[in-house]
Amino acid sequence: MSFANGMEFFIDHSRCIGCEACVQACEECDTHRGISMIHLETIMRADSVQTAPQVCMHCEDPICAQVCPADAIKKTEEGVVLSSLKPRCIGCSNCVLACPFGVPKYRAEINQMMKCDMCYDRTSIGKRPMCATVCPSGALTFTTREQIERTRQGSAIREWMFGGEVVKTKVNVLVPRSVQRLDVTVERPGETRTDEYDVANLLKGD
C-alpha cells in the first residue's frame, strides 16, 4: 500500500507559517482545477499565530468509506482515498460528519462530496502533490521515510486515538520522539493555556 518510488506524505505542524501557498496551489491541480481541497486552520489568532494545514490523512480503513451508504468512496492500490465517485455519490454527507479530521466537503453545486486525493494525477506518475511541492516552510513534505529520518529531529507517526478508537493513516505527522501515538482529546473552553505567546507576559521577564 505505497507508491512505487517509496514516497510518503509528512506534515510538521510546528513548521507551518500560515501563508496559504498550499491552499492557492491546491486549486491549480488538474484533477480539481479551481477548487482547493486543503484547509488551512488558523488556531485562536487572538492568542497565537499558530496555523495548521489539513490534507486528507488517507486512513488505512477510511471511516468516510465505511459510512458511505452508496459505496462511493474508493481507495487506490497505493492507499489513496479518492473523492466520491460521481455516478454513485448521493450527497448524503455521512462522510462529512464521520471523518475525524473534518476533511470531506459536500459541494451543493455539483451534489457531490469532494476531498483531497493526494494529487493522485501527480503522485500516481511519480510526481509530488502540489501542496507539498510549493510549501515554503517544509510543513508539508512528500519524500521518503529514510530522508525524513535523516533530516528531521522529530519522529514520523501515523497512529491516532480518537476517544476509544485507533485510526491508522497513510499520511504521517512529525511529533517529538517521545510520542508514539497522537491521543486526540476534546478540550473544554478555558482548559487550554493561551498565554504562552502573550507578548505582555514575555515582557515581564522571569
Verify binding: residue 153, another protein, rule CB under 8 A: yes
- Cβ–Cβ under 8 Å, residues 56 and 103: yes
1 binds another protein (CB under 8 A): no
Smallest distance from the beta carbon of 53 to another protein, in angstroms? 13
DSSP secondary structure string for all residues of 87-130 = TT-----HHHHH-TT---EEETTTTEEE---TTHHHHTTTPPPH
With binding defined as CB under 8 A, does residue 155 bind another protein? no
Binders of another protein: how many residues, by CB under 8 A?
A: 45
Q: What angle do CA 97, 99, 100 make, to 5 degrees?
A: 115
**Residue 193 sits in the site that holds another protein (CB under 8 A):** no
Task: Give the closest residue to 46 by CA, choosing from 199, 185, 206, 191.
Answer: 199
Binding to another protein by residue 5, rule CB under 8 A? Answer: no
Nearer to another protein, 83 or 169 (CB): 83
Residue 197 makes contact with another protein by CB under 8 A: yes
List the one residue out of 36, 39, 68, 70 whose CA is nearest residue 54: 39
To the nearest whole angstrom, how small is the minimum distance from the Cβ of residue 10 to another protein? 13
List contacts with another protein (CB under 8 A): 14-21, 23-25, 27-28, 30, 33-34, 45-51, 128, 130, 133-138, 151-153, 194-195, 197-200, 202-206
